Amino acid sequence: MSEPIYPWQRDLWQRLMLLRERMPHAILLHGRPGIGKQVFAQALADALLCESPDAEGFACGLCVSCGWQGQGNHPDFRLIEPEDRGEDEAGDSLVETAATAKTRKKSRYILIDQVRALGDLVGLTSHRHGLRVVILQPAETLNLSAANALLKMLEEPPPGTLFILVTHQLPRLLPTIRSRCHKVAMSMPTRSAAESWLAEQGVGDPLFCLAQSGGAPLAALEADSPDLREGIDAFATQLARCERIDPAASAAHWSKEDYALALSVLQKWSYDLVSCRLARQTRYYPAQAASLQAMAKSVDLGALLDFQRKLALARAQATHPLNTELQLEALLVIYSQLFPAIARP
């Protein structure tokens, strides 16, 4: 039977299994998106609820407890995450108010009612005389009311209960919540390990996919698309033309194809330009390293950093009903003006 965790998580798993008999009341798994934190959290919960774990500490998959988990109805387990709440959804505010109610169909946050509902779990003895386990993910989506409700539970932890918090953005959690958890940093796999794993999954160009995902293998797996690679390469080739790029033509094409993707490519390309200028390294476009190095020598660094701020603002507004073609064209015009010192034959 294959392991329920990813190969690059084995060392961390073994370290945590040494704590099995003296687990803290709350564990905070944190790290980059796309490295398998949520899979690891679920495997840990399954293992701790299992009545006959194997030699490696993994759930046996055969006991009564594992049977309940497999059916998704274990009475001593809860998974808390943003949920579809129909029309009665709190809006963008981190504080729930009547003014922000009924604005979204899909929740962006974990709400206070979800945390309060845990009282039915932690207020009773466990059904199998073992641990009760709560996974809360991603923890940064706790709104303010929910975070305060959780904090009260962490300050006076109920006996026999383990909270497993998973977060992609550790600084967004309340400091008081962070301080009451045993923090576990989940690191990125090495590039060679990630490439090997992606090759085993049948990914056609692991190097490209890893570069585009910043080295995160699960995100790289999602990026495995020949059409996507072709489109990104084509846009990168246009960006390498510096001031000779045609903003109108590029904007017309990419606003129809995928405006959000175009902004992502621009952000990553700009990041590599800054990186080449300051450290002579590329992260997202290693295949275009030579072009980026040449461009970085003459780019206006101050203007480039300002351009990055404009890109971040545009990315934040990408889902708003704006004229995406005009927005993208304006950004590409600014981009074309970043290279005043490049002499052309």
pLDDT tens figures, 307-343: 999 999 998 887 765 688 899 999 999 999 998 754 4
Domain stop point among 185, 212, 239: 185
Question: Is residue 84 domain-shared with residue 157, that is, in the same domain?
Answer: yes
Question: Is residue 13 domain-shared with residue 95, that is, in the same domain?
Answer: yes
- Cβ atoms of 133 and 162 within 8 Å: the answer is yes
CA-angle at 197, arms to 196 and 200, nearest 5°: 90
Arithmetic mean of pLDDT, 98-116: 70
What is the percent of the chain with per-residue pLDDT over 90, rounded to a whole number? 69
Residue found under tokens 């932690």: 122
CATH of the domain at 162: 3.40.50.300
What digits encode the pLDDT tens for the residues 212-235?
998 999 999 988 888 888 889 889
Domain count, the chain: 2
Instruction: Return mean pLDDT, the chain.
Output: 88
Position 97 scores a pLDDT of 45
Question: Is residue 242 domain-shared with residue 304, that is, in the same domain?
Answer: yes
Position 3 scores a pLDDT of 86
The answer to whether position 59 is within a domain reads yes
Which letter, b or e, does each residue of 57-68 get, where b requires 16 or more Cβ atoms within 10 Å of its Cβ? bbbeeebebbeb
With H, G, I as helix, E, B as strand and everything else as coil, classify residue 161. strand
CA-based end-to-end distance of the chain: 63
What digits encode the pLDDT tens for the residues 19-29?
988 899 999 99
What digits encode the pLDDT tens for the residues 243-261?
889 999 999 888 777 888 8
Position 267 scores a pLDDT of 96
pLDDT at 65 over 60: yes
Question: Is residue 246 domain-shared with residue 327, that is, in the same domain?
Answer: yes
Domain stop point among 185, 215, 241: 185
The answer to whether position 84 is within a domain reads yes
Question: Is residue 57 domain-shared with residue 114, that is, in the same domain?
Answer: yes
- pLDDT range class, residue 83, cuts 50, 70, 90: confident
Question: Is residue 161 domain-shared with residue 266, that is, in the same domain?
Answer: no
pTM of the model: 0.82
Question: Is residue 34 domain-shared with residue 164, that is, in the same domain?
Answer: yes
Position 157 scores a pLDDT of 87
- Residue 70 neighbours by CB under 8 Å, 6+ apart: 61
Domain containing residue 120: 7-185
Question: Is residue 163 domain-shared with residue 235, that is, in the same domain?
Answer: no
Contacts of 66-72 with CB under 8 Å at 24 or more apart are 69/45
Position 120 scores a pLDDT of 81
Structure tokens at 193: 């390990």
Position 85 scores a pLDDT of 55
Domain stop point among 185, 209, 237: 185
CATH of the domain at 249: 1.20.272
Name which of 14, 23, 40 is nearest 131 in CA terms: 23
